[in-house]
Amino acid sequence: MNDECPEDFQLLCPLPLNDRDTVQLAHGGGGRLMKALIEGMFLSAFARGESSSQPAPAIEAPHDSAIVELDGRRLAFTTDSFVVSPLFFPGGDIGKLAVYGTVNDLAMAGGKPICLSAGFILEEGLSMETLRRVVESMRDAAREVGLRIVTGDTKVVDRGKGDGIFINTSGIGRVPEGIEVAPGRVTPGDAILVSGDLGRHGIAIMSVREGLRFEGAPPSDCASLVGLVEAILAAGADIHCLRDLTRGGLAAALNEIAEHAGVGIELDEAAIPVIEPVAGACELLGLDPLYVANEGRLVAMVPAEAVDEVLQLMQSHPAAVGPATIGLVVSEHPGVVEMRSLLGSGRIIDQLSGEQMPRIC
């Protein structure tokens, strides 16, 4: 600590709020509180103590999907729950999200989606017409990706105990031979690419949920990334790691990767693509687009020699909208994401505690 601080200095700040006794919304916000919950509650219970005869899924190295080996074949397996409000928003709905979210997670592990399950928790009083629209949207999204929803479950809860519809989807995908896309492969020298501009989904949701009408607010980027990943992998381009950018945005994804791969990450502020309406809405609300949710964007860690090829493949694919190289993996400051600002100095891009809170003025 600094010399000015006397050694016997006793801090008596206004009352700490230490470990929370109850679940807070921020535990689901994609930030540090959620990480602490997953590591302290779920991983500590589930990741240890299984019988050794079971195949060990890759639960120790958190990834968008677990890789399970079965008779010499590798399967990607993932699950995701969807609780979006409102159910329909510009550019998508909860049904589309439920399909794309899970297939995107499979794709980030190099998995070709095979099938999905769908579990519905419906609130008493939900209109059948609303449910039909959501289900048809799921059907259309699954068709587009080329997979089927093969099993499911339905529960109904009392009015007031749900938010219309909650959906859980789980998915299985096949990981082709020779494909290994995982945080463990990220090495210093890798370039960091994003498949498009950031923050559209979060701002689209906020513009309808909070009744804020931003001029020219863009629709959500909600889309499947399966075709894009297949196109890149099919071309034989070497990709070290992929991550789809959802809750917590680019910042959360990069922090996780930096931590698990034990590398540092350096970003170039000027290179990060954000379209003007999103940037404007963020300025107004005091939000940082790096932390705003996306539903159709990925970040890729690519070895230097493959950067041009991957960028070209992205540019020619409709699911990538203005892809860009935004930074570099380095061996310095492991676990920390730094951004070069316009004056050339670095600042830390930290994980947030929970969700971003709009500021006062």
Where on the chain is the footprint of other proteins (CB under 8 A)? 1-2, 4-5, 9-18, 20, 22-26, 32-33, 36, 210-212, 270, 276, 279-280, 283, 285-286, 333, 336, 341-348, 350, 352-353, 356-361
Query: In this complex, which beta carbon is closest to other proteins, that of residue 111 or of residue 264?
Result: 264
Query: In this complex, which beta carbon is closest to other proteins, that of residue 21 or of residue 129?
Result: 21
SS3 for 6-56, per residue? CCCCCCCCCCCCCCCCCCCHHHHCCCHHHHHHHHHHHHHHHCCCCCCCCCC
Contact between 297 and 253 under an 8 Å Cβ cutoff? The reply is: no
Q: What are phi and psi of 220, to 5 degrees?
A: -60, 150
Both tokens of 199, joined, read 């923050």
Query: In this complex, which beta carbon is closest to other proteins, that of residue 50 or of residue 276?
Result: 276
CB of 309 to other proteins, least distance (A): 30
Q: Write out the DSSP string of 194-232.
A: ESB-S-HHHHHHHHHHS----TTPPPP-----HHHHHHH
Both tokens of 113, joined, read 């989606």
In angstroms, the CA 176 to CA 180 distance is 9
Query: What is the CB neighbour count within 10 angstroms for residue 216?
Result: 10
Helix (H/G/I), strand (E/B), else coil: 329: strand
CB of 219 to other proteins, least distance (A): 20
CB of 354 to other proteins, least distance (A): 8
Query: In this complex, which beta carbon is closest to other proteins, that of residue 109 or of residue 205?
Result: 205
Query: In this complex, which beta carbon is closest to other proteins, that of residue 150 or of residue 284?
Result: 284
In angstroms, the CA 164 to CA 131 distance is 9
CB of 99 to other proteins, least distance (A): 30
Contact between 279 and 289 under an 8 Å Cβ cutoff? The reply is: yes
CB of 277 to other proteins, least distance (A): 9
Cα–Cα distances (Å) from 281 to 33, 210, 289, 310, 361, in that order, read 26, 13, 9, 31, 14
Query: In this complex, which beta carbon is closest to other proteins, that of residue 125 or of residue 358?
Result: 358
CB of 335 to other proteins, least distance (A): 9
Of 78, 38, 102, 80, nearest in space to 259 by CA: 38
Give the CA count within 13 Å in the CB-facing half-sphere of 324: 16
CB of 220 to other proteins, least distance (A): 20
CB of 259 to other proteins, least distance (A): 13
Q: Is 6 left (phi over 0), alpha (psi -120 to 50) or beta?
A: beta
CB of 332 to other proteins, least distance (A): 10
Query: In this complex, which beta carbon is closest to other proteins, that of residue 223 or of residue 251?
Result: 251
Query: In this complex, which beta carbon is closest to other proteins, that of residue 37 or of residue 307?
Result: 37
Query: In this complex, which beta carbon is closest to other proteins, that of residue 179 or of residue 285?
Result: 285
Contact between 190 and 240 under an 8 Å Cβ cutoff? The reply is: yes
